[in-house]
Chain A
């Protein structure tokens, strides 16, 4: 009990120290004070709620996510105060969504029944985006309603994970063993693999059509990793390599902006004022940070890098908080991913296992791909950094996913020690 609160106090300490520094250098406008207080109170209320309702699951997941969110909020106030105001509202809403999923969802296993609805929902959401979406920063991945716009592909992450978890849970044996023998490799038959492969391919094709290539890459790797995890067959992992190469080449030939991305990735300095501007500025900012950073508010990258508030927020962080600050954030993400995978291991049923680990894999991939992009280890693909970047859709969805993992963790805590799978034991009975 003390543990939960002390972790939250640590999170809030980081948050308020960040605000204090901003205040000292005159970068904190006074109207942020009530927003910060509301956010802090909500965090503490949530903790009290956990204790009151006897939460028994993982104690680190939410703390880590809240810490990342707090760091993100401080950075956003520094980068763009008006966007930060928005983000405070999304942050509070995200916390509410999290607790609704954690305590409102009575039995996550029921979600498994709707597997084809999830699969279909993924396709419909992407199709609607493609037809009615608006183009922002080169990708048609936004739907505008009134003055607000949101990214349906964030919601697709949830429904696709639900679909994959349910489907793979039901067909795990067949995928693992296979029914058709081709040489020394046994493959699953068309009936087993068909629907899964169909939905996955259509999802990827729709994302490619929207030019949402970063998300497409995340989804593809997510599919491969989950199938590998469930079947434990190296075959699936190995066959994905030529597929990635093939898809990458196809993308390179089909889309001009992929060509530009690759060219600027290989040599951003050639055209560092044109196509290579973003990545060059990102690298300059990161290098400028060195070990200790320039200090919060002192960097140049926050003004120089385009999209410093979303895709490139990590570069600003690496400049102002230095190598140590950036490593701390990377470590927080790794903790988050490993905790989610650990919950997967401990989950009381296979659906929960696949879902929890799948969420861990998804977050891990998102972080890896955007961070590898801004540090020039991979070609740049526009993705928000979960919990840290500005953006309501991403924030709400990631809290929803976090809610699902914690729900699984909470439930499996009661199903341990030999209680039969599927029978609910706990305070709700």
Chain B
């Protein structure tokens, strides 16, 4: 029969298209929006799922417990045996206030939802995981403890890395809170001074003189002879802007090495500006400015100007100030530790990682980290030159307070002006031993004064401990 076949065919076509359209709706919710829907505050899915599952534990590199879930008569309790030492990095996972930090970023792992193999996936489809996966971190509690004891009572951050592979050894932020009692202490913590909830290692600060490491690369690449002498008179005027040395000190005749060792602003401003803004911005880009750092937790991008993390050009006055880390340059202590690690590792910045292994509830390894290069920031020769200057800074320059008898370290200080009448932020970046580094770190003490005075002793203590542990064969 052929009465109305074309009519039926058209209807059939309409239905085919409508059903295809319907399947786009499913793709939209189940693939594209799946994550954002889980974050919706009205969605109790995560909480209800969590109630059924025992959250996995978090351990340091030597198996020391940082977080674990214990079964008590009152139900499951999340314990943080190290109290406030690893906060706010670990964060919390509560029914009342949701979750933050590593507890939130690694929720899929800790709740056992992340499966690598298809077989495990299929198994989990028919059997809910009752226990989450354990995280073994790269952190070393013994080093963290040293940093914690030294920084306690002040605001700031300490980040230490193994420059050879990007393992994060110390990630300290102060002040912090006790994860065990966060629910009870909530109002007090939220309203207390110094932002205990904020991870200071990921917050951005003006870098001050430690930025000269970045400027150095621009100077090398512009073909200046770094043995040329420059006469520092304590002040210089660039484009009508007066550049002043700290404490108005005139450094006299300096070459590049001495300029870095003495932290001579005039040298870096004069030579830096001569290299041109393009060259400076290129060096900064090479070190990861304006880029997001590949890491388990999101870290704000370090930026050269307020409006654009990595602009195409800089006006001269801002540029001159940027060469020694003032102006609008902002960088996180975590990024600064990475830059230091790059110099220590002959120019290669390794991708930082915090998670060494993930074990499922039967203790099978389901994830194992492996070292990867993040950026090739500078050449071996450039890294060598900066290292030599940083060694000089320790031996006869501003970084001397960090010196360790018997071991050569390389370091650089920074005293960054936060603006206003506040005391300067104290920075200290270092790696050791200078020729064969096993640790690279950045210390920041908020409004701590000078880098050599406030930050160097903390770095020194952490490095000493790291070297001592290495002697013992533990690292």
Chain A residues at the B interface, C-beta cutoff of 8 Å? 21, 24-25, 172, 225, 228-232, 269, 272-273, 280, 283-296, 298, 300, 304, 318, 322-323, 326-327, 330, 333-334, 337-338, 341-342, 344-350, 353-354, 357, 360-361, 364, 368, 371-372, 375-377, 421
Is B224 positioned at the interface, with any CB of A under 8 Å from its CB?
A: no
- Taking the closest CB of chain A, its distance from the CB of B5, in whole angstroms, is 5
A347 to chain B: which residues have CB within 8 Å? Answer: 1
Is B40 positioned at the interface, with any CB of A under 8 Å from its CB?
A: yes
- Taking the closest CB of chain B, its distance from the CB of A417, in whole angstroms, is 12
> Are A364 and B8 in touch, CB under 8 angstroms?
no
> Are B42 and A272 in touch, CB under 8 angstroms?
yes
> Are A280 and B26 in touch, CB under 8 angstroms?
no
A298–B111 Cα gap in the complex (Å)?
14
A298–B22 Cα gap in the complex (Å)?
25
18 pairs, A vs B, C-beta closer than 8 Å: A24-B127, A229-B7, A229-B10, A232-B7, A284-B45, A286-B30, A287-B30, A288-B37, A289-B30, A293-B125, A322-B30, A323-B27, A326-B30, A337-B15, A345-B5, A357-B8, A368-B15, A368-B18
Given known contacts A229-B8, A287-B30, A364-B15, is B3 in contact with A350 (CB within 8 Å)? yes
> Are B18 and A323 in touch, CB under 8 angstroms?
no
Q: Which of the listed residues A225, A334, A348 has the most CB atoms from chain B within 10 Å of its own CB?
A: A334
> Are A345 and B8 in touch, CB under 8 angstroms?
yes
Is B128 positioned at the interface, with any CB of A under 8 Å from its CB?
A: yes
B124 to chain A: which residues have CB within 8 Å? Answer: 295
A293–B122 Cα gap in the complex (Å)?
10
> Are B7 and A375 in touch, CB under 8 angstroms?
no
> Are B19 and A333 in touch, CB under 8 angstroms?
yes
Given known contacts A283-B29, A348-B1, is B19 in contact with A368 (CB within 8 Å)? yes
By Cβ-Cβ distance, the 3 closest A-B pairs, closest first, are A287-B37, A272-B42, A295-B125
Given known contacts A300-B45, A357-B8, is B15 in contact with A334 (CB within 8 Å)? yes
> Are A353 and B29 in touch, CB under 8 angstroms?
no
Render B1-33 as a binary contact track against A, CB cut-off 8 A, 1 for contact. 101111111111011101101110111011101
A323 to chain B: which residues have CB within 8 Å? Answer: 26-27, 30-31
Knowing that A272-B42, A334-B15 are A-B contacts, what are 15 other residue pairs whose CB atoms are under 8 Å apart, sorted by A's residue number? A21-B126, A228-B7, A283-B29, A284-B42, A300-B45, A300-B48, A304-B44, A322-B30, A330-B19, A338-B12, A345-B1, A345-B8, A346-B1, A353-B1, A421-B1
- Taking the closest CB of chain A, its distance from the CB of B4, in whole angstroms, is 6
A261–B435 Cα gap in the complex (Å)?
71
Q: Which residue of A lies closest to B43 (CB)?
A: A284
Render B111-137 as a binary contact track against A, CB cut-off 8 A, 1 for contact. 000000000010011111000000000
- Taking the closest CB of chain B, its distance from the CB of A40, in whole angstroms, is 22
- Taking the closest CB of chain B, its distance from the CB of A377, in whole angstroms, is 5
A364 to chain B: which residues have CB within 8 Å? Answer: 15, 18
> Are A357 and B38 in touch, CB under 8 angstroms?
no
> Are B8 and A371 in touch, CB under 8 angstroms?
no
Given known contacts A269-B40, A337-B15, A349-B1, is B22 in contact with A377 (CB within 8 Å)? yes
A346–B1 Cα gap in the complex (Å)?
6
A333–B124 Cα gap in the complex (Å)?
29
> Are A338 and B23 in touch, CB under 8 angstroms?
no
Is B34 positioned at the interface, with any CB of A under 8 Å from its CB?
A: yes
Given known contacts A273-B42, A283-B37, A323-B30, is B22 in contact with A375 (CB within 8 Å)? yes
Within 8 A of A (CB), among B98-121: 121
B22 to chain A: which residues have CB within 8 Å? Answer: 330, 368, 371-372, 375, 377
A/B pair count, beta carbons within 8 Å? 148
The 8 Å CB contact of B38, one of A228, A287, A293, A348, is A287
Q: Which of the listed residues A21, A230, A345, A377 has the most CB atoms from chain B within 10 Å of its own CB?
A: A345
A272 to chain B: which residues have CB within 8 Å? Answer: 40, 42
Q: Which residue of B lies closest to A327 (CB)?
A: B23
Is B184 positioned at the interface, with any CB of A under 8 Å from its CB?
A: no
The 8 Å CB contact of B12, one of A294, A298, A341, is A341
A25 to chain B: which residues have CB within 8 Å? Answer: 126-127
Q: Which residue of B lies closest to A314 (CB)?
A: B26
A280 to chain B: which residues have CB within 8 Å? Answer: 40, 42-43
> Are A292 and B45 in touch, CB under 8 angstroms?
no
Q: Which residue of B lies closest to A289 (CB)?
A: B30
A327–B10 Cα gap in the complex (Å)?
23
The 8 Å CB contact of A228, one of B5, B11, B44, is B11
A337–B30 Cα gap in the complex (Å)?
25
A167–B9 Cα gap in the complex (Å)?
21
Within 8 A of A (CB), among B395-443: none
Q: Which residue of B lies closest to A320 (CB)?
A: B125
- Taking the closest CB of chain B, its distance from the CB of A376, in whole angstroms, is 8
B25 to chain A: which residues have CB within 8 Å? Answer: 371-372, 375-377
A371–B21 Cα gap in the complex (Å)?
11
A292 to chain B: which residues have CB within 8 Å? Answer: 121, 125
- Taking the closest CB of chain B, its distance from the CB of A177, in whole angstroms, is 14
A353 to chain B: which residues have CB within 8 Å? Answer: 1, 3-4, 8
A223–B71 Cα gap in the complex (Å)?
62
A326 to chain B: which residues have CB within 8 Å? Answer: 26, 30
B37 to chain A: which residues have CB within 8 Å? Answer: 283-284, 287-288
B19 to chain A: which residues have CB within 8 Å? Answer: 330, 333-334, 368
Q: Which residue of A lies closest to B20 (CB)?
A: A334
B42 to chain A: which residues have CB within 8 Å? Answer: 269, 272-273, 280, 284
> Are A288 and B31 in touch, CB under 8 angstroms?
no
> Are B11 and A341 in touch, CB under 8 angstroms?
yes
- Taking the closest CB of chain B, its distance from the CB of A324, in whole angstroms, is 10
